[in-house]
A = this chain, B = another copy of it.
Amino acid sequence: MPRKRREDVIELTREKILDAARQNMAKHGSAGLSLREIARSIDMTAPAIYYYFASLDELITALILDAFNAMADALEVARDKKLSEGGTAAQALFEVCLTYRTWAIEHQTDFELIYGTPIPDYDAPSEITTPAAARSGDVFGKLIYMALQSGIFHPLPPYDVVPPAIADHLRELYNAPALDTEIMLSNYLTAVGWPQLHGIIMLEIFGHIGPFVGDVAAFYQQQVINMMKAIGFTEPF
């Protein structure tokens, strides 16, 4: 058995620390993270952590980055699975929507970490987290774009036209005065659909909607279907 390379051992220990941190979050919430408790739970001393992370804040940044990437990975896996089975972009989008909730429920503290209340007195370095944060949105947007291109998707009013103010905003954001209509539309429809999914999940994980509907998973799935149909997707997907 070949000996492990030094960098790999370091990477392994970093992972061990991050895993312990995730369990620590699960126990006390992301705002309750304690470097000393993390160290204790893996039989290290607190200063040892500093060999792997420059500070607690840097550790938190690593957690956030991992969470954004893990969520995007999960969405991409769901998308690729469906597409490689010969599924349409619409079918892949449906799966991605379901996976968004599944991942959130199964990794609740990670989800809270990235989409919940920010940690007090911690400032995320946005130049690091923003690209990772954008990945998930891209999965939605690109599938909608794919569906538009392939001709299986014809948006219904009022979702067939990007409101002028938002179109202007997108042109500025992409820094492209002649931004492609279908790119703008897929961005806009992401902005329309995503919050609908997000809202259910947010209310669910903090216990506000369960009492109203009982089986949230079934309710969520139905809302995804309703949303996609409202936008203009036609079943089956």
Contacts and interface: CB of A to CB of B under 8 A. Distances in A.
Query: At the interface, is chain A mostly helix, strand, loop or mixed?
Result: helix
Given A29-B31, A165-B214, A187-B212, A200 B199 contact: yes
Interface string A30-66: 1110000000000000000000000000000000000
Given A199-B198, A200-B195, A222-B163, A28 B121 contact: yes
Q: How many copies does the complex hold?
A: 2
A212 B29 contact: no
Interface string A198-226: 11101100101101111100110011001
Nearest to A168: B214
A77 interface: no
A133 interface: yes
Shortest 8 CB-CB contacts between residues of A and residues of B: A199-B199, A32-B120, A169-B214, A31-B31, A195-B199, A116-B117, A198-B199, A117-B117
